[in-house]
Amino acid sequence: MSENKNPQNTPNQDLIYKKRHSLSHILAYAVIRIFGRDNVKLGIGPVIENGFYYDFLLDKPISENDLVRLEEEMRSLLARNYPFERSEMTIEEATEYLLKMDQKFKLELVNDLANGGAEKVSFYTVGEFTDLCKGPHVDDTSVIEPHSFKLTSIAGAYWRGDEKRPMLQRIYGVAFDTKEELDDYLNKLEEAKKRDHRKLGKQLDLFTFSDLVGPGLPLFTPRGTYLRNQLARYSEQLQLEGGFEMVWIPHITKVDLYKTSGHWDKFGHELMIVQSRETETEMALKPMNCPHHAQIYASRIRSYRELPIRYCETTTVYRDEKAGELHGLSRVRSLTQDDGHVFCRVDQIEYEINNIMQMIKKLYQTLGMSFRARLSFHDPENPDKYLGDKETWRNAEMMIENVAKNLGLDYFIALGEAAFYGPKIDIMVTDSLGREWQCATQQLDFVQPSRFGLSYVDADGKEKTPVMIHKALLGSIERFLSVYIEHVGGNFPLWLSYIQGVVIPVSNEKHSEYALEVANYLKSKGLRIQADVDNESMNNKIRKAQEQKIPYMFIVGDKESESKAVSVRTRSGLNIGLMTLDEIASRMLHEYENKL
């Protein structure tokens, strides 16, 4: 059975969703034809971003060579113009049918539906293959262009994500409307492999991991630390300009703090627990900062005249992520946030969100990244996932959407993506390969201030509860770096480059002294410069500088030594020509100061 979570809302998007969903069934059909019906137990086959997958329990492992055979079989099935025909069975009929077909995983799904109150379930038939499924599908296979899809990889996946359940083989595929779109996507996929932040992180000596330290706990080198610190300082600069004040909180806390905030009930399993030997008190490494900031607010009586109060800090939090979900810097157990919280009156919400949005716009404009806003609302079908009453949620979500409209944001609504305490404006950043990533966020919170008993004395002398706005500009700095490194392919702008220029002598014997003189002069101007006087050829040094993606190379030989100048070359291979030391220093300082 496929998951039927179709977030698209236009006819073309609905059609590609149906194509991808139908291809997951065609894949299952092909697997059965090649490996034999008796040898295949079917799991689920949902649509995912850009494609689909299907899980199978087989009596033999699938190889990469099998993917080619399966693709050929799928194209053969598509060419037969089979219709997708929907039918219904009662729970009893479906149970009997699946027992007969010996499909234990499907039978488990039917039992779950029955326990949820379902009296009937739907099936879809294509050719001789029938599968439990809610749909939707294309009318028939002729709608799908036979060369518009590709099976891409095989992975292991526990049934229903439970490591105590059987391990299934998951086959992934991508699919588009046309072969041209598929080819474009595959080309971008190849480019993405070259830009993989884990590969570039090693090549550029930015970060590393250690088995002795533990998985998901990155260690940053001097080069990587400079990069992350520059980003954090710029974020802090924007926040201070926007009226935020820096605070500091400890990295551990009594678990009572998270029980009061509501995090314990929702995310207690993700907390890393620390036991105090002295007091035998159960403590936690902080997984988020908002409850701590709330306690700073609660430290004394507040007046309406003080609001808004804006706190910010750049600090590391810890989450006990599953080992199988860790991935480079994009999913780690220690993540650093440029976090902040605003405590304000209801009538100040729009101004505060606009204030934060201006910071976000400036940050991502500086970094050369476009974005749109995802309004992350609660799922009304699963109210137990959230704290607070329906009316509070309705008002908060109306307020968020009104603010988005008034700011003229390019936005869309995503049900079920809200935090447990309130709706969010999540910033979806588009990278240079057209991929979309959630980075910055603003979250409206009416729940935690009430749970902590936060208040302020209003103009009428009565105590009222403030609203809390959570914000992050970069989000998790580690996750942001995973996106940004791939966005620029490691070609960081000068203000983010650990080494901004390297001086390369034509001849070590004749020109090393002048190379060191040039490097020292540019360093005196506040630039980060190296002189490469190693015993290698000039061409090898140029190649090495390009591999390290250093923005500028300064070649010095007889002509340059005599004229007290340098021949300037960029990492892209552009020869700018001869420049005096003052000219190149002025150029580089302009780039640095203006973050170009």
- Return the active site residues: 290, 319, 337, 339, 341, 424, 470
Give the dihedral sign, CA 376/382/383/387: negative
C-beta of residue 413 within 8 angstroms of C-beta of residue 375: yes
Structure tokens given for 74: 């799928």
- Edge-to-edge strands of the sheet including 529-531? 529-531, 501-505, 552-556, 565-570, 575-580
User: Which residues, in sequence order, are CB contacts of 549 under 8 Å at separation 6+?
Assistant: 204, 490, 491, 492, 497, 571
Report the greatest alpha carbon distance in the chain: 93
Q: What span, in angstroms and rounded, lies between the C-alpha atoms of 78 and 65?
A: 21
Q: What span, in angstroms and rounded, lies between the C-alpha atoms of 163 and 161?
A: 6
Q: Which amino acid is it at 218? A: P
Q: Which residue reads 């309705």 in tokens?
A: 394
Residue 413, judged by CB atoms within 10 A of its CB (0-12, 13-18, 19+), counts as middle
Query: Treating both helix axes as pointing N-terminal to C-terminal, what angle do 222-241 and 477-488 enclose, rounded to 10 degrees?
Result: 110
Q: Closest Cα partner for 51 from 170, 175, 161, 143? A: 175
User: Which residues, in sequence order, are CB contacts of 74 under 8 Å at separation 6+?
Assistant: 23, 26, 27, 29, 30, 149
E strand or H helix at 187: helix 179-195
Q: What is the CA radius of gyration of the chain?
A: 29
Q: What span, in angstroms and rounded, lies between the C-alpha atoms of 300 and 315?
A: 24
The distance of Cα 125 from the centroid of its chain, to the nearest Å, equals: 37
Query: Treating both helix axes as pointing N-terminal to C-terminal, what angle do 222-241 and 349-366 enclose, rounded to 10 degrees?
Result: 140
Q: Closest Cα partner for 383 from 392, 374, 371? A: 392
Q: Produce one character per residue of 195-216: b if its CB has 16 or more CB atoms within 10 Å, e if not.
A: bebbebbeebebbebeeeeeeb
Structure tokens given for 445: 């919170």
Print the SS3 string covering 39-51.
Answer: HEEECCCCEECCE
Q: Which amino acid is it at 277? A: R
Residues in the chain: 596
Residue 541, judged by CB atoms within 10 A of its CB (0-12, 13-18, 19+), counts as buried
C-beta of residue 71 within 8 angstroms of C-beta of residue 79: no
DSSP letters of 356-381?
A: HHHHHHHHHHHTT-EEEEEEEE--TT
